[in-house]
Amino acid sequence: MKRSVMRCGLICGGFLAMAVLFAPVDVAVADDDDVVTGERLAAVLRAGRSVISSHQDLINDETIGEKNLTGDSVVAEALALYTEREGNPPEGDGLTERDKLLFDAQIAAMREIVSEYEELIDTEGVGFKGFIPAIFARLVNERFSEKVGDLAKTKVTAPDELVRNRKARPDEWERQVIEEKFLTKDWPKGEAYVEEIDRDGRKEFRMLIPEYYSASCLTCHGGPKGEVDVTGYPKEGGAEGDLAGAISITLYK
């Protein structure tokens, strides 16, 4: 059985600021609380990525040593950005014990990763350091798993033919949702897919949120296809609006 949950009316389409919070979710029987948890995890990750992105020029600046970009500053900016985007702070409305654990782990992961890369970020004489939003996100997700891997997993994946890092390869479920939902022409742009599945007798809440290329992604993921980008990977030949990948959230029940 399947129901489509529109979290607000069509009118929301006009309010870009609300688009993240009220992104429609296609649900095949799942707990609403899990949907909220999944959305929060994804939104915190996105906020962190945006903060790194907003400082990319500074990070890449070879003329500046100490950049004052620290674990604490990135976390503070990410929380402020989340609050601005979503209208309330992530820890605002009384988190359940599980959600508090997950939130604290995600924030700690972000703080740790930036702290560990601070020395590299502060290296004078080196321009591009490879510290970009996608890598930051992967490192944060891996650290998050180390902390709460029996409870939850966060990951950024992509269609097989676009995957750069092997660790981002989609699993069977992700591949199927990407191919049979996100890549079909009728899939509403931006709509997440949510499902509760059984794996080896254990229930898992799964959520996949599509992400699309914007103009800023194309310096690396655009054309000409095959040309090597600044990170050393061949460009995918993507265009603005194409499916780039997906944020994948798993909650183990």
The footprint of ligand HEC (CB under 6 A) covers 132, 134-135, 138, 156, 158, 162-165, 168, 211, 213-214, 216-217, 219-221, 229-231, 233, 244-245
Closest to ligand HEC by CB, 109 vs 217, is 217
Beta carbon of residue 127, minimum distance to ligand HEC (angstroms, whole number): 12
Beta carbon of residue 242, minimum distance to ligand HEC (angstroms, whole number): 9
DSSP string, the chain: --EEE-SS-GGGGG-HHHHTTT--EEEES--HHHHHHHHHHHHHHHHHHHHHHHTHHHHT-TT-S-----HHHHHHHHHHHHHHHHSS-TT-S---HHHHHHHHHHHHHHHHHHHHHHHHHT-TT----S--HHHHHHHHHHHHHHHHTTTEEEEEE--GGG--SGGG---HHHHHHIIIIITSTTSPTT-EEEEEEEETTEEEEEEEEEEE--GGGHHHHSSSTT-B-TTSSBP----TTSEEEEEEEEEE-
* Position with the least CB separation from ligand HEC: 245
Beta carbon of residue 49, minimum distance to ligand HEC (angstroms, whole number): 8
Beta carbon of residue 238, minimum distance to ligand HEC (angstroms, whole number): 9
